[in-house]
Amino acid sequence: MVEAIIRYEGGLHCAAVHGPSQSILETDAPVDNQGRGERFSPTDLVGTALATCVATTMALVGERHGIDLVGLTVRVRKHMTAAPPRRIAQLEMEIAVPVAADHPEQARLIGAAQGCPVRRSLHPDLEVVETFVWQGPLA
C-alpha cells in the first residue's frame, strides 16, 4: 500500500504529497474546464502515468534481457470527449525505442509496453493507441 495526501489549495489547484518520499506534485484544472492550466491536470496525470509505466515496464524487461533502453522516450497525447460526460476518450503514445527494428527481443518489448500495470487498470472504453519507432542504438 502506498498513501498520498491531497490538499485542495483554492483556485482549482491541489497539492499531492507522496507518502513514502514526501515528494510533491501539484495539479490545476485545464483551461477548457475553468482552470488556468498552470500544472498537470488530473486527466493529464492519467496519460503521464500510462507513459511512464510503459517506459518503466519496458526498462525492467530490457534490464532482465540485457537491452539498453537509456534514451527511450514516450510522447503521450490525451484526447478528451467532445460531448458529455467529460472523460478521456483516447491516449495516443509514440514510443521511440533506441534499438533496431529487427532486434530479436522486439516482441518482448512491445508486450511489456502493452502489459504495463497502468494500462491493465484503464477502463476498456478508453482507447489506447501506440506507435513504436525503432531508432537503433543512440549515438
pLDDT confidence of 137, banded at 50, 70, 90?
Answer: low
Q: Given a cut of 60, is residue 139 above it in pLDDT?
A: no
Amino acid 136: pLDDT: 78
Q: Which three cell numbers stand for residue 132?
A: 513504436
Q: Where are the alpha helices (DSSP H) in the chain?
A: 42-64, 106-114, 117-121
Residue 28: Cβ-neighbour burial (10 angstroms; 0-12, 13-18, 19+): buried
Residue 83: Cβ-neighbour burial (10 angstroms; 0-12, 13-18, 19+): exposed
Kindly report the pTM of this predicted structure: 0.93
Q: Is 97:133 a contact under the CB 8 Å cutoff?
A: yes
Give the model confidence (pLDDT) of 49-85 as tens digits. Answer: 999 999 999 999 999 999 999 999 999 999 999 999 9
Superfamily designation of domain 42-134? K homology (KH) domain (3.30.300.20)
Q: Is 96:135 a contact under the CB 8 Å cutoff?
A: yes
Q: Higher pLDDT residue, 96 or 32?
A: 96
- 123 vs 119: CA distance, rounded Å: 9
Q: Where are the domains of the chain?
A: 4-33, 42-134
Give the model confidence (pLDDT) of 93-126 as tens digits. Answer: 999 999 999 999 999 999 999 999 999 999 999 9
* Nearest CA among 125, 129, 106 for reference residue 51: 129
**Edge-to-edge strands, sheet with 73-80:** 73-80, 88-97, 127-134
Q: Is 85:123 a contact under the CB 8 Å cutoff?
A: no
Torsion over CA of 124, 86, 4 and 8, rounded to 10 degrees? 180
